[in-house]
Amino acid sequence: MFAFLLRRVFISVVTLFLVSIVVFTGVRMIPGDPARVMAGTDADEAGLEEVREKYGLKDPVPVQYLRWVRLALGGDLGESIRTRQSVAWTVATKLPITIQLACFAVLIAVAIAIPAGVLAAVRRNTVWDLLASGASLCGLSVPNFWLGIMLILLFSVRLGWLPASGFVPFWDDPVGNLQRMIMPAFVLGTALAAVLMRQTRNSMIEVLSADYIRTARAKGLAQRAVVFRHAIRNGLIPVVTILGLQTGALMGGAVVTEQIFVVPGFGRLIVEAVFTRDYPLVQGVVLITASAYVLINLAVDVSYTFLNPRIRIRGSGR
């Protein structure tokens, strides 16, 4: 088991290393003087010289890379061209908003997907199963930004129940915060719910046909006890991995959702950064997102090994 963990950590480190290379080269593929790219078009010669100095742009590329990584590991991701504030600080102020949004989205998704998936598996090939699978397929196919627009149209424009956009911090005005968060969280949660429901249904079907479930039934346990005490525990294990793997989609989805509902989070930050050609900010945001994804999935895998002894033996490689 220790060997497996070690191997898993090693692979993650390699992945992070490759991620950093991709991000580093990405910015250097932008046509033009790299100092100009990083300092912005309105930087004067002194500003350019400062950037060249800091990142050693006259040095050989590998040396530049190592310097960049060293700075990044110390939390220095450069500064935003537009605001002149540090990238790390800018991201740190925006991230909590997106994390709140993502947590709500996950809550909504789990609240919909798990019961529906379990129901679909238990009542396999019935109307319930058909309804759940149909809903899941619709959730996968609906463009979430359109869903967002339609929700605004219904609940804000027509009914006037919810504010269409904006954000207030939770500690300032909890009710206002929740009112503004509910639609974006639902929109962000739908796609996730669709994926989770499929996974829940499939793995529950598999578990329900296992021998130990047949034994449980044979000894006369009620259906409810079989499903809730015996099947769910194993049936939901793969769902947790999917949740980990879906964090990437969640971060991507946050970009669009925040754009529609004008939530001033991480996703809106990246779009603004792209439009203002704020390359250091784009670079920082992309690096942070990819690293977070790798680390979250490492955490999921590691926590798994403790939860499920079978993985230790099976999961020796990908």
Partner 1 sequence: MSLDASRGTVPAEIPAPAPAAATPTGWVHRGWRRVVRRPASAAGGVVVLVFVVMAIGAPWIATTDPLHADWSKIRKAPTRANPFGTDDLGRDNFSRVVWGSRISMQAGVFSILLAMAVGVPIGLVAGYYRGALDQLIMRLTDAWLAFPFLILAIGLVTIMGPSLTNATLAIGLGATPTYVRLTRGLTLSAKEEDYVLAARALGAGDLRLMRRHVFPNIFSALLVQATVSIPTAIIAEAILSFLGLGVQPPAPSWGTMLNTAQQFLESAPWMAYWPGLAIFSLALSFNLAGDGLRDLLDPRDY
* Interacting residues toward partner 1 by CB under 8 A: 11, 14-16, 18-19, 21-22, 26-27, 29-30, 137-138, 140-143, 145-146, 149-150, 152-153, 157, 248-249, 251-253, 255-256, 259-260, 270-271, 274-275, 277, 279, 282, 285-286, 289-291, 293-294, 318
The nearest distance, CB 278 to partner 1, in angstroms, is 10
User: Angle, to 10 degrees, between the axis of helix 174-208 and the axis of helix 144-151?
Assistant: 130
Residue 86 in 3-state DSSP? Answer: strand
DSSP characters over 271-293: HHHHHTT-HHHHHHHHHHHHHHH
Sign (positive/negative) of CA torsion 316, 20, 31, 81? positive
Nearest 5°: the CA angle 294, 167, 157 is 115
Q: Residue 5: is it exposed, middle or buried by C-beta count within 10 angstroms (0-12/13-18/19+)?
A: middle
- Contact, 77 vs 87, CB < 8 A? yes
Q: Give whichever of 35 and 226 is closer to partner 1, judged by the CB atom.
A: 35
Q: What is the largest CA-CA distance in the chain?
A: 82
The nearest distance, CB 12 to partner 1, in angstroms, is 9
Question: What is the token pair recorded at 17?
Answer: 């290393």
Q: Residue 22: is it exposed, middle or buried by C-beta count within 10 angstroms (0-12/13-18/19+)?
A: exposed
Q: Give whichever of 134 and 309 is closer to partner 1, judged by the CB atom.
A: 134
Q: Give whichever of 63 and 249 is closer to partner 1, judged by the CB atom.
A: 249
CA 134 to the chain's CA centroid: 25
The nearest distance, CB 141 to partner 1, in angstroms, is 4
Q: Give whichever of 61 and 150 is closer to partner 1, judged by the CB atom.
A: 150
Q: Give whichever of 230 and 268 is closer to partner 1, judged by the CB atom.
A: 268
The nearest distance, CB 175 to partner 1, in angstroms, is 24
CA 222 to the chain's CA centroid: 39
Question: What is the token pair recorded at 178?
Answer: 């929740």
The nearest distance, CB 206 to partner 1, in angstroms, is 13
Q: Give whichever of 17 and 228 is closer to partner 1, judged by the CB atom.
A: 17
The nearest distance, CB 164 to partner 1, in angstroms, is 8
Q: Give whichever of 19 and 182 is closer to partner 1, judged by the CB atom.
A: 19
The nearest distance, CB 233 to partner 1, in angstroms, is 26
